[in-house]
Structure 1
Amino acid sequence: MGKDGTDLNSYPFLMAPGQIAALSLRNRILMAPMGDALANPDGTVSKRQLDYYEARARGGAALIIVGSVAVTYPGGAFSADQTALHTDEHIAGITELALRVQRHGARLALQLTHGGPQSLYAIETGNPLLMPAPPTYKGPDRISRTLSPQEQFAMSAPFQQPTSRVDIHIATEEELLAAIEAFAAAAERATRAGVDGVEIHGGHGYLLDSFRSPSTNTREDEWGGTRDKRDRLLLETIRSVRSRVGAHYPMWCRFNSVEHHREPHETIEDALYLATNLIEAGVDALHVSAYSDPSIATGITDAHTPHIPGALLAAAAAVRAHIKEAVPVITVGNLDDELAENALATGAADFVAMGRRLLADPELPNKLRDGVPDHVRPCIYQYRCIGNIFLNTHVACIANPLTAREGAAPPEFSRPHTTQEPEHILIIGAGPAGLDAAWRLAERGHFVTIQDAATQLGGRLSLAALADEHLSKMLNYLIGQVRRSNVELRLGQPAAAPDLEGFDRVVLATGADWSRPDIPGAENGNVLTLNDLTPWASGEMRLPDGPVAILGGGKAGLTLARLARSGGHEVTVIEETHVFAIELGLPGRFRWIADLEASGVTLLSEHRATSINQDSVTVMSGDSKIVEIESATTICTVPVTPRNDLLELLFESGAMGEVIGDAHSLERLEGAFRDAEALSSRL
């Protein structure tokens, strides 16, 4: 049995060893290929990358797949800090990466990519943008434009440099043959670097896929027109790579099972046809993904980074059935432990690739192996990871502040170093910052006490967890970590001066005050704040019949809007700025907006509430137009201010003091977890 009573054989299929050609793997969990933007500015492997990938190898993943390794650089690359294998100068760093991964029993693969139409670094450096045919640009849809000024600036950076030039170049046969050679040469360099295998990226709108798609390839020559001709570039690349690396070197392909929001588009029938031909061309496995029109805001979450659990399983199963198990099939896309285990058990796939979950907890495979799945820090699907890539910055994770900072922290955040100078530490506040800090500090060897006026753990996260299943999992994880640690709990006790006596250090993690706006009618009986909502969110009471207005369009406001709409209310969310849920990574923000609007919620941006009445809210637009919004109940999620009313008490105690989470700065969960980790690492 595991440490928490879980059967160690709960995941026999996930933990079973596997094989891709000559490549022996210790289990069936692969780290999915993801762009990380962590390389040096010349495309060579950086120290941060070494630490980042080694953490996932140490954590038990069988195969680490480095995403989007450019075969041509800077042309064909997305950014300067994209990993490249364009010349022999890139080999040394890849060799070191292979050694760092392999010394933990994992294996390393590189996903070889030519960006084609998506090569933003080609634009930034004035290089040609290789495409199959003249493009038809629709521009981003309405939801895609819900960006802050800072986000707009970051996304436009590749177009704003002195060297920037958009030079669309319709690929000639000579250039296509050169691209094929670039893939083969990069694969050969991978073998010299000690890499265990390569994945050819034939999906997601990059060069090889742009030729496959009937939406982007409108040629009528030998490289387009029919399905066979559209597939030619990918298949010729596979054959060339196979010829270069030999018959036994593991090589496989990632490709789309479907394209969303496009007409005409790649279909599952196209994918099945391609799968047969890929095997004949020499691949050792098939990695089944999906793509979407990039101008559609929900495209990413409809396709390769889905919001629906197991969204790509049916496609993987169809491919596996079609090829009659000729080669292993890799599936991907929002897979929890049970979905992943079942996919293998039912024969839908042979391997599962996990991305976001391994960012949130690199130790996930080891914890499943050891029978402690409750110890896995959950992904909360707020899309900071891939969202950062679109802002031309490196990968990060809201749930795990150590992502891309592994070298600045203890070797594994689940097994930190023990302090040589233990302290008695009082944490006032049992919200996410306090809980996360408490277990981390206790595991470091400190004597930790949590005190909170509330009678239960969780703070405001307890309310959010009632309406958001991902946050519910995070709350359960944090509470579990605290209860598994040697932390003393003082609940139902407001902090007073005597409580601080005898502690070396006091940490204020008191969160934020979510109050009422200073406008007429805010004190009316039909106006609720977060303090009033737990009975409703838990189902113990109903809101009065009639429309609901929510003041504030942050993540909290949108979560409450979804809950109210599911209860049958007409809902309007009123936000003063242009952007809803600014806390979320872009794909997550866009998904929430689209889903709420599709459910019938009205999202009113750039409007400010000026008064609250018994049956309406009066709002003013940016151009001073007055609008009345019908409302039987008004819920306030603004204003929000740091709650630091205990600072004076802290100063008077004479203890060393710390302030973390929203009590320090209003950065929600991201700030809470970052502050908790930083404090524990420092102490």
Structure 2
Amino acid sequence: MGPLSRPLSLANGHGIKNRLFKSAMSEQLGDRQHNPTPELARLYRTWAEGGIGVSVTGNVMVDRTALGEPKNVVLDRDSDLGAFRRWALAGKAAEGQIWMQLNHPGKQIPAMLCKTPLAPSAIPLGRGLEKSFNPPAAMTEAQIQSAIQAFATAAELAKQTGFDGVQIHGAHGYLVSQFLSPRHNQRDDDWGGSADKRMRFVLAVFRAIRERVGADYPVGIKLNSADFMKDGFSENESMAVVEALAEAGIDLIEISGGTYESPAMMSAGKRASTLKREAYFLDYAEQVRQRVKVPLVVTGGFRSAAGMSEALESGAVDMVGLARPMSLLPDLPKRVMAEPDFVLTMANPSTGFKALDKMGMLSITWYEFQLERMGQGKAPKPGLSAWGALLATFGRLGVYAFRQRRA
């Protein structure tokens, strides 16, 4: 049995059949009431049958008044729990697991969806994003407590409807990430100021979830290694948060990095040595491994069975995170476990016009189109042109297609 095929046991005794982890991607397959559609269930059944150990859903919003994108799924007391049960059941096919990613966008809400979003501090997004995202209002104590309980309620409902675990989205500049960042959290109360106070929100969210779901239910987090901005969340601060979460009892940590102001989670701008090694955040994971024993996942950059196996054998990570490759090869887990020499080549779709690519958000929408095809029971279409993806996005999202809908 190779390293990719070995089962993993979490500290709470929860077992995972192999070391392959589908990281969250934006599916945009919620219905008008923000419930999961049959297409979502079919998509996750396809991935489960492809051999994945754990599938993490695209971010499910915990507050229907705070959407990150127009067709987000929301889980709260007003949701259609039957639709969530069908989604969870599909994700369990072939002994796979499905974990729900829980998120609140904070101020990363497109202007078309919210006039005044909430955030730790009344600081707008920068680097050009302020043109499409309205300035936020600083959250009151009551609003902070409400957001914490919204995460806890969603986690409770995720367990009730059959999801195998939950993941807190604490990366990429969303609300949890905003509280951790000295750039975005400039409060002078108990929720901001020092690094210790800035991490209070994520710890409060975790503890509220744990109180609702119990000690034996898996609760993980996706956390930035850093924001990669001069005045943002740093590596040293991130490691301190990891240690605090490990002490509090977190079950699994997925490592990412960057925000939509500084998108380090994308391949653009990566050093040649990083791209050759494949895993974008493996250096950070190696440092974290010296501090905590919590299972770690690194997502970003993996393209070969050899690169994935080497990351596991290094001891720095316990699972390999895969995202965009799974939108093209839903049976990628089976392939990399069976073929040690497997290599996937991926091209970046482009119309040839950078402004049009950016306006159509091709780096996201091209892959969303592939997810939609799988949700319809069709095979992915790797040869889809960038122009075809733009037309498909317009047909699916209408007036929202060419408005910036994501930070």
Give the conservation status (yes or no) of the 8 Å contact 1:14–1:29: yes
* 1:310 maps to 2:279: yes
Output the amino acid matched with 1:242: R
CA RMSD for the aligned pairs?
3.4
Q: Residue 28 and residue 362 in structure 1: after superposition, are their counterparts in 2 closer, same or farther (change >3 A)?
A: same
Give the conservation status (yes or no) of the 8 Å contact 1:39–1:82: yes
* 1:248 maps to 2:219: no
**CA displacement at 1:91 relative to structure 2:** 2.1
Q: Residue 167 and residue 333 in structure 1: after superposition, are their counterparts in 2 closer, same or farther (change >3 A)?
A: closer
Inter-partner Cα distance in structure 2 for 1:27 and 1:203? 25
Inter-partner Cα distance in structure 1 for 2:358 and 2:20? 24
Inter-partner Cα distance in structure 2 for 1:128 and 1:360? 37
Tell me which protein shows more strand as a share of its residues. 1
User: Which residue in the other structure is 2:402 paired with?
Assistant: none
Equivalent pairs: percent with the same residue?
26
| Superposed CA offset, 1:270-301 (max 9, x none) | 11111111012221111111114x34577744
* 1:406 maps to 2:374: yes
User: Which residue in the other structure is 2:100 paired with?
Assistant: 110
* 1:124 maps to 2:91: no
* 1:285 maps to 2:252: yes
**CA displacement at 1:232 relative to structure 2:** 0.6
Aligned ranges 1:12-23 → 2 under 5 Å: 12-20=2-10, 21-23=12-14
Output the amino acid matched with 2:19: R
Inter-partner Cα distance in structure 1 for 2:117 and 2:84? 27
Output the amino acid matched with 2:75: L
* 1:98 maps to 2:65: no
Question: Of 158, 162, 169, which residue of structure 2 is paired with 1:201?
Answer: 169
**CA displacement at 1:381 relative to structure 2:** 4.1
Provide the secondary structure at the position in 2 that maps to 1:60: coil
For structure 1, which runs of at least 5 residues remain unmatched after alignment?
1-8, 145-154, 160-165, 415-431, 437-582, 585-666, 672-683
Provide the secondary structure at the position in 1 that maps to 2:245: helix
**CA displacement at 1:392 relative to structure 2:** 7.5
Provide the secondary structure at the position in 2 that maps to 1:254: strand
User: Which residue in the other structure is 1:181 paired with?
Assistant: 149
Q: Residue 388 and residue 236 in structure 1: after superposition, are their counterparts in 2 closer, same or farther (change >3 A)?
A: farther
Q: Residue 303 and residue 85 in structure 1: after superposition, are their counterparts in 2 closer, same or farther (change >3 A)?
A: farther
Question: Of 38, 57, 75, which residue of structure 2 is paired with 1:47?
Answer: 38
Give the conservation status (yes or no) of the 8 Å contact 2:119–2:138: yes
Q: Residue 362 and residue 297 in structure 1: after superposition, are their counterparts in 2 closer, same or farther (change >3 A)?
A: closer
Aligned ranges 1:594-609 → 2 under 5 Å: none
Provide the secondary structure at the position in 1 that maps to 2:258: strand
User: Which residue in the other structure is 2:60 paired with?
Assistant: 69
User: Which residue in the other structure is 1:335 paired with?
Assistant: 302
Q: Residue 300 and residue 367 in structure 1: after superposition, are their counterparts in 2 closer, same or farther (change >3 A)?
A: closer
For structure 2, which runs of at least 5 residues remain unmatched after alignment?
392-407
| Superposed CA offset, 1:96-124 (max 9, x none) | 0111111221101011000001022xx43
Give the conservation status (yes or no) of the 8 Å contact 1:79–1:392: no
Inter-partner Cα distance in structure 2 for 1:51 and 1:271? 36
Provide the secondary structure at the position in 1 that maps to 2:94: coil
Question: Of 170, 184, 191, which residue of structure 1 is paired with 2:138?
Answer: 170
Inter-partner Cα distance in structure 2 for 1:670 and 1:175? 38
Output the amino acid matched with 1:109: W
* 1:275 maps to 2:242: yes
**CA displacement at 1:182 relative to structure 2:** 0.2
**CA displacement at 1:221 relative to structure 2:** 1.0
Provide the secondary structure at the position in 2 that maps to 1:310: coil
User: Which residue in the other structure is 1:82 paired with?
Assistant: 72
User: Which residue in the other structure is 1:140 paired with?
Assistant: 128
| Superposed CA offset, 1:592-622 (max 9, x none) | xxxxxxxxxxxxxxxxxxxxxxxxxxxxxxx
User: Which residue in the other structure is 1:27 paired with?
Assistant: 18
**CA displacement at 1:342 relative to structure 2:** 0.7
Tell me the TM-score normalised to structure 2 length: 0.83
Give the conservation status (yes or no) of the 8 Å contact 2:152–2:209: yes
Tell me the TM-score normalised to structure 1 length: 0.51
Provide the secondary structure at the position in 1 that maps to 2:346: coil
Give the conservation status (yes or no) of the 8 Å contact 1:357–1:378: no
User: Which residue in the other structure is 1:38 paired with?
Assistant: 29
User: Whose relative contact order is higher, 1 or 2, with alpha carbons under 8 Å and at least 6 apart?
Assistant: 2
Question: Of 290, 315, 334, which residue of structure 2 is paired with 1:321?
Answer: 290
| Superposed CA offset, 1:77-101 (max 9, x none) | 1123111112342422221011111
* 1:358 maps to 2:358: no
User: Which residue in the other structure is 2:315 paired with?
Assistant: 347
**CA displacement at 1:27 relative to structure 2:** 0.8
| Superposed CA offset, 1:174-223 (max 9, x none) | 10000000000000000110100000111111111101001111111111
Inter-partner Cα distance in structure 2 for 1:394 and 1:95? 31
**CA displacement at 1:408 relative to structure 2:** 4.0
User: Which residue in the other structure is 2:181 paired with?
Assistant: 213
**CA displacement at 1:54 relative to structure 2:** 1.6
Instruction: Return the index of the structure with the highest Cα Rg.
Output: 1
Output the amino acid matched with 2:102: L
Provide the secondary structure at the position in 1 that maps to 2:48: helix
Inter-partner Cα distance in structure 1 for 2:74 and 2:212? 19
Output the amino acid matched with 2:371: T
| Superposed CA offset, 1:219-263 (max 9, x none) | 111111100101111111111111111111100111111111x23
Provide the secondary structure at the position in 1 that maps to 2:128: coil
User: Which residue in the other structure is 2:395 paired with?
Assistant: none
Provide the secondary structure at the position in 2 that maps to 1:367: helix
Provide the secondary structure at the position in 2 that maps to 1:108: strand
Output the amino acid matched with 2:176: L
Aligned ranges 1:663-682 → 2 under 5 Å: none
Inter-partner Cα distance in structure 1 for 2:283 and 2:50? 29
User: Which residue in the other structure is 1:651 paired with?
Assistant: none
Output the amino acid matched with 1:312: F
Question: Of 202, 210, 215, which residue of structure 2 is paired with 1:234?
Answer: 202
Inter-partner Cα distance in structure 1 for 2:262 and 2:313? 35
Provide the secondary structure at the position in 2 that maps to 1:331: strand
